[in-house]
């Protein structure tokens, strides 16, 4: 997959957020996927439609020095983990393709991650096969 396939992700709607010990994440999805979420996918038993795309934007966290309470906020933007539903291209992984792109602030560019971390894609997401391989539900607002 090419990062350029996800052009416009900056304006996609937020699905959810997540926090690990090392990373703050904001999960956004394209209009095709948001429409499906709002129609009840995957809770209604239907799969996400072809062309659904999701991006997990990842930052290193830091403690806010401005908030009057303890809160972690994004610091250095590090990676974008992308997922695309295309059953013809990705028939062996539930129709989903996965890729991880590292961000370089100095050049303002994304490059495919060479560590193999993106291989976790299907291996990790198969745990939520019953939810069409997607961990995050659309959060109420």
136 inside domain: no
How many structural domains compose the chain?
Answer: 1
Whether omega for the bond prior to residue 26 falls within 30 degrees of 0, making it cis, is no
125 inside domain: yes
137 inside domain: no
141 inside domain: no
* CA-closest candidate to residue 82, choices 63, 61, 106, 58: 58
pLDDT for the residue 70: 95
pTM: 0.89
67 inside domain: yes
77 inside domain: yes
110 inside domain: yes
10 inside domain: yes
Q: What is the pLDDT along the chain (141 residues), one digit of tens a residue?
A: 899 999 999 999 999 999 998 999 999 999 999 999 999 999 999 999 999 999 999 999 999 999 999 999 999 999 999 999 999 999 999 999 999 999 999 999 999 987 765 456 777 888 888 888 898 889 888
Kind and range of the H or E run holding 102: strand 96-104
63 vs 51: CA distance, rounded Å: 37
Q: Are 134 and 54 in contact (CB under 8 A)?
A: yes
Which tokens go with 3? 């990062």
Give the domain range for residue 121: 3-131
Q: Are 5 and 98 in contact (CB under 8 A)?
A: no
């Amino acid at each position: 997959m090419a990062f350029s396939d996800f052009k416009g992700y900056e304006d996609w709607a937020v699905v959810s957020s997540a926090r690990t010990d090392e990373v703050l994440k904001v999960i956004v999805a394209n209009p095709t996927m948001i429409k499906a979420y709002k129609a009840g996918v995957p809770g209604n038993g239907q799969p996400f439609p072809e062309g659904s795309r999701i991006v997990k934007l990842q930052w290193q966290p830091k403690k806010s020095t401005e908030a009057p309470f303890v809160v972690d906020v994004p610091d250095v933007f590090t990676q974008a983990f992308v997922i695309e539903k295309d059953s013809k291209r990705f028939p062996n992984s539930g129709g989903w393709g996965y890729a991880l792109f590292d961000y370089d602030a100095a050049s303002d560019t994304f490059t495919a991650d060479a560590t193999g971390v993106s291989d976790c894609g299907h291996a990790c997401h198969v745990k939520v096969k019953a939810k069409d391989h997607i961990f995050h539900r659309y959060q109420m607002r």
